Amino acid sequence: MKITPPIVLKKKGKEKITAITAYDYPTAIAVDRAGIDIVLVGDSLAMVVLGEETTLKATMEIMLHHLKAVSKGVKNALLAVDMPFGSYHTGEEKAVENAIKLVREGNAEAVKIEGVEKKESMIEKIVNSEIPVMGHLGLTPQSVIKMGGYKIQGKTEEEINQLISQAKKLESLGVFSIVLEGIPEETAKLITESINIPTIGIGAGRYCDGQILVLHDLIGLNYDRTPSFVREYANVKGIIEKAIRNYIEDIKTGKFPSEKEVFFLKK
């Protein structure tokens, strides 16, 4: 079944929402075939597949490049994409233009935007352009410099109340779901119970309406630090390295290629 924003909305309180990132064609096919609800082309791709230090390095050009590849592999999941740093910070018209570009050229079905303060009117304009918007609150990686590092948010009463009011604001702007990242689960629970749109957590505990993880963390294809909230369901880097070691060995010992793996002149 094709997942749409209204279907995601209807799952709140009834069924957990499943989400994951993907950055290329084969992994897009894999996650879609597995039956995931939402595939996000996250700006985390700057770190995960391009080796950058932060997500700030992702540009519109880079996001579109990966989004196009992922869109060819996704059939049933809702395809969402991050609006990268700088693509919605230089004026509302530019933001709407960039959101439209991600939909028209990249086949995105929703865009994700970090934060809400001072962005209300811009978010409203994108929603009014018929583009479904996902919010993102808490530890928002595009604010890493301002936050002074990747720090858990929503710990004090003041921060908790601020997050609840931000989530309510996003709901009133017409956003169809909100990613909650890097916050205590008690805070995520309070937010989730305060709004009628689904929350999708990453490092936000058990009480969100759904969960999202970075694909490469989940499958064990991450050579950098794996966050403590991640569950590794496979060790793909081990499988890849073993395969390549076997390949090297087979070349060196003359086992590859074999007779079955070569062409012959026609007799």
How many residues at the interface with ligand KIV, by CB under 6 A? 11
Closest distance of CB 120 from ligand KIV, Å: 20
| Residue with the two structure tokens 């070569």 | 262
Among 82, 46, 102, CA closest to 179:
82
> Phi, psi (5° rounding) for residue 219?
-95, 5
Q: Which span sits near ligand KIV by CB under 6 A: 42-50, 169-177, 217-225, 253-261?
A: 42-50
Contacts of 133 (CB under 8 A, 6+ apart): 110, 111, 112, 113, 123, 126, 127, 173, 174, 175, 176
| Strand, coil or helix: 102 | helix
Note if 120 is an active site residue. no
| Strand, coil or helix: 230 | coil
Q: Which is nearer to ligand KIV, 63 or 195 (CB)?
A: 63
Closest distance of CB 262 from ligand KIV, Å: 43
Residue 182 in contact with ligand KIV, rule: CB under 6 A: no
Binding mask 5-34 for ligand KIV (x = CB under 6 A): ----------------x-------------
Q: What DSSP element (H or E) covers 93?
A: helix 92-104
List 32, 43, 109, 217, residue binding ligand KIV (CB under 6 A):
43
| Residues 55-84 interacting with ligand KIV (rule: CB under 6 A) | 82
Show the tokens assigned to 217.
């963390």
Instruction: Give CA 116 to chain center in angstroms.
Output: 18
Q: Which is nearer to ligand KIV, 114 or 122 (CB)?
A: 114
Give the nearest residue (CB) to ligand KIV: 42
Show the tokens assigned to 172.
């009133």
Q: Which is nearer to ligand KIV, 61 or 158 (CB)?
A: 61
Q: E-assigned strands of the chain?
A: 17-21, 38-41, 78-82, 110-114, 133-138, 177-181, 199-202, 210-213
Asked if 27 and 36 touch (Cβ cutoff 8 Å), the reply is no
Binding mask 129-168 for ligand KIV (x = CB under 6 A): ----------------------------------------
Closest distance of CB 203 from ligand KIV, Å: 9
Q: Which residues of 132-141 are buried (b: 16+ CB within 10 A; e: fewer)?
A: bbbbbbbbbb
Residue 42 in contact with ligand KIV, rule: CB under 6 A: yes
Closest distance of CB 5 from ligand KIV, Å: 17
**Catalytic residue list:** 181
- What residues make contact with ligand KIV under the rule CB under 6 A? 21, 40, 42-44, 82, 179, 181, 202, 212, 214
